[in-house]
Amino acid sequence: MTVTAAKKSRRLPDLSRALVVDEVGVNERVARFQSRSIKKSSKVEALKLILSMIDLTTLEGQDTPGKVQQLCQKAIHLHNSMPGLPHVAAICVYPTMVGVAKEALVGHDINIASVATAFPSGMSALKVKLDDTRMAVKAGATEIDMVISRGNFLGGDYRYVFDEIVAVKEACGDAHLKVILETGELGTLDRVRKASMLAMSAGADFIKTSTGKIQPAATMQVTLTMLQAIRDHYRDTGRMVGMKPAGGISTSKLAIHYLVMLHETLGNAWMTPMWFRFGASSLANDVLMQLLKQSTGLYQSPDDFSKD
């Protein structure tokens, strides 16, 4: 599909006719995922898959080039004493740090994701957001994580939010676009569903739960709602959209529950880093500890793993 054809096919859906989410049903379904027992070799495979899906993230005002270089080293050398580990999918930084990351990751097949569009609030003019995006892409970001304008969305100005995503998608060029809904500020699962539909029809390659700056961040309930929206979007249009829960997923056990949910909602086709990511900073070390526990039989100490 050419760019113009793709743009033409993007149409704001009638969100007043969006499906109503059954919250009780979602809770029950989520509880069911958490009762699955994944052990032994399946657990090891799951843990490795999780590692390969991680967007290793640092998004702090106090980030320095040194901190980002350190994070990149961590991405390349997860735990050298364990051979055969996959590397993480991407590292995720602020636009000003993209150049540093690019230099540090030369020769490695690790994507560079950058947040943009006045992250995390998104409270700025469209022009500024587009410049922010172009700057990150120019510096070498291969993935852009944008935030939607929650104020406009909650005020019912869906057209504004939609047009904004379309514009940012265009500014991204070849870079993948992940659209952050910031579900902690949306309030209800119904709105999460509407925002997901809106973002996907505006051209999002991924939809993402949270910035990590607002509580609650990713929850299984919200993620399930978004996965179901992705499934329905795929049925309607035939276009696959990726999913990225971010914030608050810090244990392997929880991450495995997410994988179970992914598998039972979208199926095998989505079980790759191409279509599913975890936005996390401390998850990687917990997964490494669990992998080492599986191979040695001993519970591990966090002290034995590099922080970043």
Partner 1 sequence: MSADRIAVAKTYKIYIGGKFLRSESGRYFTLKDKKNNVIANICRSSRKDFRNSVVAARGAQLSWAGASAYLHGQILYRIAEILEGRREQFVAELVLQGIALRTAEKEVNQSIDRLIYYAGWSDKYQQVFSAVNPVSSSHFNFSVLEPTGVVAIISPDDSNLLGLVSNIAAAIVGGNACIVLASETKPLCAVSFAEVLHASDVPDGVVNILTGFRSELTEFFASHMDVNAIIYCDGGKAAAKTIQVLAADNIKRVIARNRVDWSGDAASPYLIRDTQEVKTTWHPIGT
CB atoms within 10 A of CB 11: 9
In the complex, minimum distance from the CB of residue 110 to partner 1, in angstroms, rounded to a whole number? 29
Residue with tokens 């989410």: 21
Active site annotation includes 39: no
In the complex, minimum distance from the CB of residue 122 to partner 1, in angstroms, rounded to a whole number? 34
In the complex, minimum distance from the CB of residue 301 to partner 1, in angstroms, rounded to a whole number? 4
Q: Is residue 98 a contact partner of residue 140, using CB atoms and an 8 Å limit?
A: yes
The residue ranges of DSSP E strands in the chain, in sequence order, are: 54-57, 90-93, 111-115, 143-147, 176-180, 206-208, 242-244, 278-280
Residue with tokens 């936005």: 279
Q: Rounded to whole angstroms, how far apart are CA atoms 125 and 146? A: 14
Closest to partner 1 by CB, 16 vs 301, is 301
Active site annotation includes 145: yes
Closest to partner 1 by CB, 55 vs 286, is 286
Q: Is residue 233 a contact partner of residue 197, using CB atoms and an 8 Å limit?
A: yes
* 182 secondary structure, DSSP code: -
Active site annotation includes 244: yes
Closest to partner 1 by CB, 70 vs 300, is 300
Q: How far is CA 46 from CA 42, 68, 256, in A?
A: 6, 27, 7
In the complex, minimum distance from the CB of residue 296 to partner 1, in angstroms, rounded to a whole number? 9
Among 55, 145, 205, 286, the one annotated catalytic? 145
Percentage helix, strand, coil for the chain under 3-state DSSP, each rounded to 5: 50, 10, 35
Closest to partner 1 by CB, 27 vs 250, is 250
Closest to partner 1 by CB, 8 vs 36, is 36
Q: How far is CA 169 from CA 226, 249, 303, in A?
A: 20, 27, 42
Residues that bind partner 1 (CB under 8 A): 297-304
In the complex, minimum distance from the CB of residue 52 to partner 1, in angstroms, rounded to a whole number? 25
Q: Which two tokens stand for residue 308?
A: 């970043």
Q: Which strands sit side by side in the sheet containing 242-244, from one edge to the other?
A: 242-244, 206-208, 176-180, 143-147, 111-115, 90-93, 54-57, 278-280
In the complex, minimum distance from the CB of residue 263 to partner 1, in angstroms, rounded to a whole number? 24
Q: Single out the residue of 307, 308, 290 nearest to residue 82, CA to CA.
A: 290
- Catalytic residue ranges: 145, 208, 244
